[in-house]
Amino acid sequence: MMSRQAFLCSLGSLYLSLLFVFLLMDVYARPANNSALKEKPADSKDENEILPPDHLNGVKMEMDGHLNKEFHQEVFLGKEMEEFEEDSEPRKNRKKLMVIFSKVDINNDKKIGAKEMQRWIMEKTDEHFQEAVEENKMHFRAVDPDGDGHVSWDEYKIKFLASKGFNEKEIAEKIKNNEELKIDEETQEVLDNLKDRWYQADNPPPDLLLNEEEFLSFLHPEHSRGMLKFMVKEIIRDLDQDGDKKLTLSEFISLPVGTVENQQAQDIDDDWVKDRRKEFEEVIDANHDGIVTMEELEEYMDPMNEYNALNEAKQMIAVADENQNHHLELEEILKYSEYFTGSKLMDYARNVHEEF
């Protein structure tokens, strides 16, 4: 007779075998995707290669009209921003920050003035642009399948839908034969917005084909004057409540759609309004008449605007200028490191003396 222990082991093995069989049955019995054009989800890297980025480095306002919370760090650190992580060693970050200070301090007087900071901001902004140019070369090759140096809207549309999980060959065949594409409403809305942007990037004479330079404008409108105007129009369209193509303070600080459910959310919304009010009154509204025009917003959005860079330099200095000499000393930057780098350095005063 089989022992109780052997019986339980045998029963356990049988259970595992049945479970494995049921799992296999479940995998093979799953229904196919509703869309015949859909295939496995695209790799996020491939999608990022052809989609305009949600976030534009070195630009004060996002394309959706939200303020860029990392702007100060982007124009102060440039490519080195990724090196300053929250879990990095404070001592290493401190050394990196000291090196940056010495680079900004071009006259070597151990302090940074507004002009020095302005020059640095412009240099870091140009660095972001050059990075975008290099990335664009790779991205353009990804959407130019025949390598003729031009991309049509249909070619881009096929690649975009493929990145969203649609079958590329079937999509291409349907577009070639002018057949209707069964696309969900959300994807279609994104496509419509991209098409508008595509036409704006198509420099005169319009041929509905984008070359590499025009494709750069499509992906990075902040570096094209014509596309910058288009981006400003889009932002004002989203925020302008009375349709006069201008922004009042109340329109600019209006809370996003949604209700406040708790005190924490209320505090976040209060900070959001406070930040936007300050930016509107002190920076964007250049003539302080309570109205922001398209021209004012365009100047504000232009990352290569030297006047804006100087104002930004003065603001950045004012944040940490404890001795009120209108300059930044190393100790001040180290103390306010979280503002400049996103990384907080502990015991900055003691450590800076150790370094010297």
Residue 32 gets which letter from DSSP? P
- Note whether residue 81 is domain-resident: yes
Residue 219 pLDDT exceeds 80: yes
For residue 253, tell me if it sits in a domain. Answer: yes
In a domain, 26, yes or no: no
Residues 6+ apart with CB under 8 A from 189: none
Q: Is residue 277 part of a domain?
A: yes
Contact (Cβ atoms closer than 8 angstroms) between residue 37 and residue 169:
no
Sole residue written with tokens 């595509």: 198
Stated pTM of the model: 0.76
Please check whether residue 83 lies inside any domain of the structure. Answer: yes
Question: Helix count (H) and strand count (E) of the chain?
Answer: 17, 6
| Residue 69 burial (10 A CB sphere; 0-12, 13-18, 19+) | exposed
Query: Concatenated DSSP letters for 277-288?
Result: HHHIIIII-TT-
- Decide which of 338 and 258 is more confident: 338
Average pLDDT over residues 118-146: 91
* 259 part of a folded domain: yes
High-pLDDT (> 90) share of the chain, % = 56
pLDDT at 270 over 90: no
When divided into structural domains, the chain yields a total of 1
Among 98-112, 175-189, 197-211, 337-351, the least confident range: 337-351
The answer to whether the CB of 157 falls within 8 A of the CB of 175 is yes
Q: Is residue 266 part of a domain?
A: yes
Q: What is the pLDDT of residues 161-212, one digit of tens each?
A: 998 899 999 999 999 999 999 899 999 999 999 999 999 999 988 888 999 9
Q: Which amino acid type is present at position 23?
A: L
The angle at the Cα of 318, spanning 312 to 319, to the nearest 5 degrees, equals 95
Q: Which domain holds residue 82?
A: 70-150+211-354
Domain-located, residue 25: no
pLDDT of 23 reads 39
Return phi, psi of residue 242, to 5°.
-105, 0
